[in-house]
Structure 1
Amino acid sequence: MTTLPASARPLTSDEIELVDVARRTIESATDAGPGEDGIHTMGAAVRATDGRIFVGVNLYHFTGGPCAELVALGSARAGGATDVTHIVAVGNHGRGPIGPCGRDRQVLFDYYPEARVILPTVDGPRSVAVQDLLPMATSWSFDDGSQMA
């Protein structure tokens, strides 16, 4: 059994709202019926430090199209948000929160190291610090390249 990191905590009302926004986003945007593959199967929502919420959906492609989380982060930046506090991705057809892939974890760690990520656990959805998703991580920046965090 996996032990949850010390930063894991039950969701706050703001985090529950973020999950609901991501769920509504993918419910309205999915192009896949139950049991079907599709191009848009994940929705994501991010909360900016000023409280605004931005959303995105994935664009599946065999070459590695963008995940919903990265689309939502791009949407936030395009909307003027320079930092985010929380992020969640939710699967279509009621699959609920789904943890970010390795690429998304690294992007979050590099650009939003103080963000919290909502993901599924055996105890239900929990909010965890992004740093806990990449133990022994190496951060990256334009100025310094890769550095042990």
Structure 2
Amino acid sequence: MRVPARDLTDDDHELIAYARRIVDAQTDGENGVHTMGAAVRAADGAMYGGINVHHFLGGPCAELVALGHARASGARQLSTIVAVGNCGRGPVGPCGRDRQVLFDYHPGIRVILPTPDGIRSVRITDLMPLASVWTPEGGTQPYDVSVFGQD
């Protein structure tokens, strides 16, 4: 299955650079606990960053830290997110847990990640085929074609 992707915009490149600055400034090396940086853009254009906190018990990924930073700063509507690795690694796609959180809380968000055609932006809904929406009020909801559209 081929996921619809779009070329990066100037805003996307700016977001990648912001995440890169975070991880470059805060990493503690290849074997450290801070090896991924993330940045999220709010609908108003503001950017918020985060860095992972690796721990053998799990620890939050950089994307989740960036989401928390945005929310704590008052951002409710988010448009785009990216994570980049330290030591010169480029954008990295979100793990399954991050994808589910993004899908549940920000179903309209775009994710910048590597694709077969290079670094592109894709909708989170395209990364979660046949997913079910979860809400704090209603729990897991049945699959809804209106969220995903039809072929």
Same fold (TM over 0.5): yes
**Is residue 2:43 matched to residue 1:46?**
no
> Which stretches in structure 2 are left out of the alignment for 5+ residues?
145-151
How far apart in 2 are the matches of 1:143 and 1:27?
Answer: 39
Q: How high is the TM-score relative to the length of structure 2?
A: 0.92
List per-residue Cα deviations over 1:66-86 (Å, max 9, x = no partner). 000000000001111011000
SS at match of 1:118: strand
> Which stretches in structure 1 are left out of the alignment for 5+ residues?
none
**Is residue 2:51 matched to residue 1:57?**
yes
Query: Which residue of structure 2 aligns with residue 125 of structure 1?
Result: 119
Q: CA deviation at 1:87?
A: 0.1
SS at match of 1:55: strand
* Equivalent residues, number: 143
How far apart in 2 are the matches of 1:59 and 1:142?
Answer: 25
Pairing partner for 1:92 from 73, 86, 111: 86
List per-residue Cα deviations over 1:34-91 (Å, max 9, x = no partner). xx31100000000001110000000000111000000000000111101100000000
How far apart in 1 are the matches of 2:70 and 2:17?
Answer: 18
Q: How does 1:1-20 map to 2 (within 5 A)?
A: 3-6=1-4, 8-20=5-17
State the AA in 1 paired with 2:80. Answer: H
SS at match of 2:115: coil
How far apart in 2 are the matches of 1:53 and 1:42?
Answer: 17
How far apart in 2 are the matches of 1:19 and 1:59?
Answer: 19
**Is residue 2:98 matched to residue 1:104?**
yes
Query: Which residue of structure 1 aligns with residue 21 of structure 2?
Result: 24
How far apart in 1 are the matches of 2:64 and 2:53?
Answer: 10
Q: CA deviation at 1:4?
A: 3.4
Q: CA deviation at 1:142?
A: 1.6
Query: Which residue of structure 1 aligns with residue 107 of structure 2?
Result: 113
How far apart in 2 are the matches of 1:120 and 1:103?
Answer: 18
Q: How does 1:76-87 map to 2 (within 5 A)?
A: 76-87=70-81
Give the ranges of 4+ consecutive aligned residues of structure 1 lying more than 4 Å apart after TM superposition.
none
Q: CA deviation at 1:138?
A: 1.3
Provide the alpha-carbon RMSD of the alignment: 0.9
